[in-house]
Amino acid sequence: QHVQARNFEEAIAAFEAFIEDYPESPLRANGHYWLGELHSSRSELDLAAEAFTTVIHDYPESNKVPDALYKLGLLKARQGQPDESKQLLEQVQREYPDSNAAGMAGDFLSQSGL
């Protein structure tokens, strides 16, 4: 509800509380992913990168991994790290070729010239 209302500060607090309060929840990866999205929307790029990296490394079986790789690739481009961006976007295409994230990664790579 906080995300839809664009109350990002409250949404961040709610997702952080969820992650802390439900350590065994299978939805923890989603919580970290949405923290990444929220921090990214506020241009808190280091915090966003940390959240997406948590999804990738701590929840490798999550269906959010391809999206987290894609979003982290975009963040690296925004942070002026084109080589890391390209590596992450190509990883999405290689490891998750049938995902929506792979298609978006290909589009970004083509349009950005990375």
Mean pLDDT, to the nearest integer, of 15-19? 92
Compute the CA torsion angle 112, 81, 9, 56 (nearest 10 deg).
90
Q: What is the pTM of this model?
A: 0.90
Query: What does the alpha-carbon distance between residue 108 and residue 89 come to, in Å, rounded to a whole number?
Result: 8
Query: What would the pLDDT profile of 46-64 be if each residue is shown by its tens digit?
Result: 999 999 999 999 999 999 9
Mind giving me the DSSP string for 30-62? HHHHHHHHHHHHTT-HHHHHHHHHHHHHH-TTS
Q: What is the pLDDT of residue 43?
A: 92
Question: Above 80 in pLDDT, residue 7?
Answer: no
Distance of CA 60 to the CA centre of its chain: 13
**Both tokens assigned to 99:** 């995902």
pLDDT (0 to 100) of residue 3:
62
Q: What span, in angstroms and rounded, lies between the C-alpha atoms of 39 and 46?
A: 8
pLDDT in tens, 69-78: 999 999 999 9
d(CA 67, CA 72): 8
